[in-house]
Amino acid sequence: MKIYGIILAAGKGTRINSKKSNKVTLPFMNKPLIIYSVELLDKIAARVIVVIGAFHESVKKVLKNYDVLYSIQKKRLGTGHAVKVGLQVIKKINKRPDIVLVGYGDHTMFYTKDTVLKLIELHKKEKPAMTIITTEYDDPDFLAWGRIIRNSQGLIVDSIEQKDATEKQRKIKEVNPNFNCFDYAFLIKNINKIKKSPVSGEYYITELIKIAIRLGEKVVGLKVPFSGVGIGINRFSELEESQRLYLSAKEKI
């Protein structure tokens, strides 16, 4: 089974307020954030595609010793659009994948090869349109991540962004850190069906969950401990907190 990986690293990092380099080049435990993503997927995927955009030369510079393919997202129109841009490169490769992994360039430091392999094995076993990693956190409002909605059979039917969640939904502790495993055939057929958010004007990768359900496809989740997920980096305070959590997790091993 052929596996490719897409790393999303095009964002401007507005809340970091960087003027010269992309957020994913920031040092995390003395190593640029993006390198954690590349090294993780490089152990599993036949090819790794990095979607770049803002300050893209800074990303290429820190990855100069890594064998990756690049795809440029000229307009930052959300995660769904970024995946579409990454798929344009995959289409040019002679051998198409069976599975596509999608992760963020600023949020894979805590993930292990073992976790991703478990995600893939679950995907192979269940044969869904997509399999996503989920985790639980006692204070989900703090993370501000999407809430996982499951049906009575335990299958995932939606991921509701915090800003769109009802008061009841916001109390759901199972959240979506956005690391995804897609059936390539499903992804390539449906990536253009994602509709633009009327609020932000962006296209969100999580919309593919709704699309899969409408098509009668299955979406499954692999729930992992929060210590195996950690937090992403949007602010310098989160960079510091994330490193503290990382060290704490390592000490417990």
| Average pLDDT of the residues of the chain | 92
Asked whether residue 227 carries a pLDDT value surpassing 80, the answer given is yes
By CB atoms closer than 10 A (0-12, 13-18, 19+), residue 142 is exposed
Using the predicted structure, report yes or no on whether residue 177 has a pLDDT greater than 60: yes
Quick: pLDDT tens for 106-143.
999 999 999 999 999 999 999 999 999 999 999 999 88
What are the residue boundaries of the structural domains of the chain, listed by start?
Answer: 3-132+178-225
- Give percent above pLDDT 70 in the chain: 96
Q: What is the pLDDT of residues 100-115, one digit of tens each?
A: 999 999 999 999 999 9
Model confidence at 94, in pLDDT bands (50, 70, 90)? confident
pLDDT of residue 249: 73
Report the pLDDT value the prediction gives residue 13, as an integer from 0 to 100.
Answer: 64
pLDDT at 180: 98
CATH superfamily of 3-132+178-225: Spore Coat Polysaccharide Biosynthesis Protein SpsA; Chain A (3.90.550.10)
Nearest to 101 by CA among 184, 236, 5: 5
| Number of helical (H) and strand (E) elements in the chain, helices listed first | 9, 12
Whether the predicted pLDDT of 5 surpasses 90: yes
